[in-house]
Structure formats: C-alpha cells, structure tokens
Amino acid sequence: MPPSLALFLWLVVLVMLLRYDPARRPDTSPGLWIPVLWVSIVASRLPSQWLGVRQMAAQAYDEGNSLDRIIFSVLIVMAIVSVVWSDFPLVAFKRWFRDLGLYLGILIVWSDSRPLEAVRTVLRRLCFLLIPLSIVLYKYYPDTGRQYDLWTGQPSYVGATTSKNMLGLLCLASGLFFVWDTMTRWRDRSEPRAQRILLVNVAFIGMTIWLLTLAHSATSSACLTLGCVVLAAAHGKGGSRRLALFMLPVPVAICLYAVLSLGFGVDLGATFAPVLGRDATLTGRTQIWNTLIAMQTSPLVGAGYESFWMGSRLQRVWASDAGMINEAHNGYLQVYLNLGAMGLLLLFSVLIGTYWRIWKGLRAFPAIGSFGLALWTVLVVYNVTEAAFLGGVLWTALLMMMGPLEGHGGQQQPAAAKAPGHSKWRHLKPRVAAVSVTSLSSRPSTPMLLSARRRKL
C-alpha cells in the first residue's frame, strides 16, 4: 500500500472514530479539544519535529493543579523562581511558560460539568489520534516511525513519539485507560451502546499491546501488568477491602526506596532488575545515576527548572561513560538535579497528598478511585527507571483524575439534582443521593394509588 494512501486511510478512520464514537456525549464541550491537542503534543512530538526541522528526544515537563493546591502552588512557584539561579534563565523561563499551558488544559477538564466524562473524552481522543498513527508511521514511514542506534544500527520503533521509551509510555497510558474503561462498562455489556464501546476498547487494547511489543520497553510492559493487577483487584469482589491492606505499605516502600537509593546510595538495581527483564545495572542506568550524582549542583535548590541538561554540564555528561543522554532515566533523580532537595520534598508531598485523596475517593467512588490508584502506583514505579514526573501523559492523566475525585464531580447526578430549584441536591454525596432515589422509586405508583382509592369508595 502506498504510504500516502495509508496516511489518508488513517485520517478517514480518525474522523469516523471521532464522529461516530459510541462513547461520545452529545453535550461534549468543544473546549476539551484544547487539552487533547496539548496532551497529544506532550505525548508525541513538538510541532517543529512534526514539520521535520529535526528529530531529537523530546522532554515534556509539567506540574498540574491537583489536590493539596498549596503544595502544588509552591512547587510551581519554586520552578519559576529557580529561573533566577539557572545558567540559562531565558531558556528555563520559556520551558516553564510552555508547561504552564498544561495546567490550564487540566483546569479546562476540571471545569467541565461532568469531569469524569471529560477525562474519558480527552484520553480516548488522544489514543484515537496517536495509537493508529504510530502504526501507520512504523509500517509506511520508517524514516519517521523508526530510529537506528548510532553504533550497532539496530532499529527501534518510536511511532508518533520521539523514542521507544516515549512510545512505551504512550502504550502504557493507553492500555491502562482502555482496560479500566472496559472494566467499568462490563456490567452494562448487554446494552447495544455498551457493546459498541467495548468493541472499540478491545480493538485499541490489541493495537496497544502490539505496539508495546514492538517498542521493547520493559519498564512500560511491567508497569502495564502492575496497573492491570491493581485494576483487577479493585474491581473484584471485596476489592476495596483487599486494597486497604496496601494503604500504608505502598508509600512506605517508596519512601524507603528514595532514602536508600538517593540518600545512602544503596544499589537496588540488582534486586529489581530481573523483574523488569534487565541486567543488574538496569541496562547501564546505575552507571548513569552514579555519574549524575557525582556532578556539582546545588543540593538544596538544584540547577534550576529544566536547566541541568544544558551547557557545560551536558557536555560533561556526554563526555563521560554515561553516553549521549538528556535525561536521568530516574524521575526522582531528575527532579533532584533540577530543583534540588526542596523540589524533591515538594514532589513527595504532592505524591502523598494525591495518594491520600485517591484512598478517600476509593471508598466513595470505587470505579473512579481504582483508575487513580492504578495511575499513581504505575507512576511511582515507572519513575524508578524512567523520568516521567512533572510531565508526560501519565502525570497529566493522574492530575486530571483528581477532578472527578473531588466531591462527586465524576458521578452521574440524579434527574432531580439537575432540575431547577433542586440545586441543594448538588451537595449530597452520591450514596446519599442514591438512597434518596431508591426510596422514591419504592413508593407506590399512581395507578396503584388510584386502585386503592376505588376500593375504599
């Protein structure tokens, strides 16, 4: 098939998916296209790279507006203040301003009248756009969809992204979303609309797994398996009670990892490498981490927002045994290099706050909380060998899910709650509203009352 014809067919399929998507709501806000396009750029390539200016490994960083807004605000403010001590203040400010757009996109999702459906819409459109496009670029545009090792010449498949790890991250987010969406809609599988949605979900799960296999991203594959296990445990019988057993061990284990690895330099690679299908050095990552930690940066405030990988420091890294890299392949270390111990402390505060909010939401909204918990668990594990904090599709999806978890914004409201003059229903919790609707539906119907009156007469 000619490449131009394949690209045209992808465009036709994309338009049909967007137009006839069975999960699409008639009242979907057009403003949701803003976060869709923004997250698509974050998850794939910059516009200049799509136009062929050059092909480099892109890095997208962001901080979102989640729960614990004070901590998030301090983190964002610190990022902009760090421009002052950056060696490249203008570049650091441009990158901070670029990432600010992602916060605004998340706010658009939060401000939707049905934030859970807004999150679903954004993630579905993102996958509709990039997953089939990655397949087309891999098969018919090898100059764009593939990269080749400078020394061995071995190909790596990048699809619509800039590296195999970025493609793995996209597949990880896509797989988690469609598996979760399938689980939440499975109970309605007898309905024709739900059947069409499930059919689309299964098709994209298949494409996602195939792309992930091509990418050979061991971290993404292991994290997708972990996320599916969390979702299965949450949606099983008594899932909330089983997950409650892991409420404290999970954050404690993460804190121990951070203290042992970053604080005392304990090499944990030999322990966890077999799980990820790697050698004891995690494919050279431990050598990279030792090289980066040995470099002189401010331990308190770091090199400045997005400023470590520039200038003389980048030249020294490239001249070392670490090779020509532009990321730490560890999200915690990446934050430390740019924002120091203060940035790392704020990051942990944000993670603890989001974790607590997810557990609170898991009790009231199990379907929503399960996806948030899967995203959170996968994010903290993924960043052990890759850098995806403060940017990327996983981080963005986690922050967007905080909107539906706030109050009952993600639940379908009763009809009485939407009617004029019944605004007070808005403040009721979903379970209280459900009880009210049930009690109303249990009252005798009008024909029953009329027949009773006739018997009395």
CA-closest candidate to residue 426, choices 408, 441, 410: 408
Q: What is the predicted pLDDT for the residue at 251?
A: 66
Query: pLDDT at position 337, please?
Result: 86
Determine whether 28 is exposed, middle or buried from the number of CB atoms within 10 Å of its CB (0-12, 13-18, 19+).
Answer: middle
Q: Please, what is the angle between helix 269-276 and helix 218-235, to 10°?
A: 80
What average pLDDT does this structure show over 129-158? Answer: 86
Task: Compare 96 and 163 and report the one with higher pLDDT.
Answer: 163
Q: How confident is the model at residue 176 (pLDDT cuts 50, 70, 90)?
A: very high
Q: Which residue has the higher pLDDT, 440 or 382?
A: 382
- Mean pLDDT over 395-408 rounds to 80
DSSP structural state of residue 157: E
Cα–Cα distance for residue pair 22/17, rounded to 1 Å:
9
For 334-346, the pLDDT digits (tens) are 888 888 888 888 8
Using the predicted structure, report yes or no on whether residue 423 has a pLDDT greater than 70: no
Reported as a pLDDT band with limits 50, 70 and 90, residue 122 is very high
Mean pLDDT of 39-66: 57
Q: How many residues does the chain have?
A: 457
Q: Where are the domains of the chain?
A: 3-405, 415-456
Residue 106 has pLDDT above 50, yes or no: yes
Instruction: Kindly report which listed range (100-114, 207-221, 362-376, 412-426) carries the lowest average pLDDT score.
Output: 412-426
Q: Closest by alpha carbon to 317, among 337, 325, 150, 305? A: 325
pLDDT of residue 111: 81
Query: What pLDDT was estimated at residue 201?
Result: 94
The predicted pLDDT at position 435 comes to 40
pLDDT bucket at 268, cuts 50 / 70 / 90: low
pLDDT per residue over 231-255, tens digit each?
Answer: 888 877 665 666 666 666 666 666 6
Residue with tokens 């398996």: 225
452 — pLDDT class (breaks 50, 70, 90)? very low
Tracing tokens 């459109």 back to the chain, one arrives at: 125
Which of the pair, 95 or 4, is modelled with greater confidence?
Answer: 4
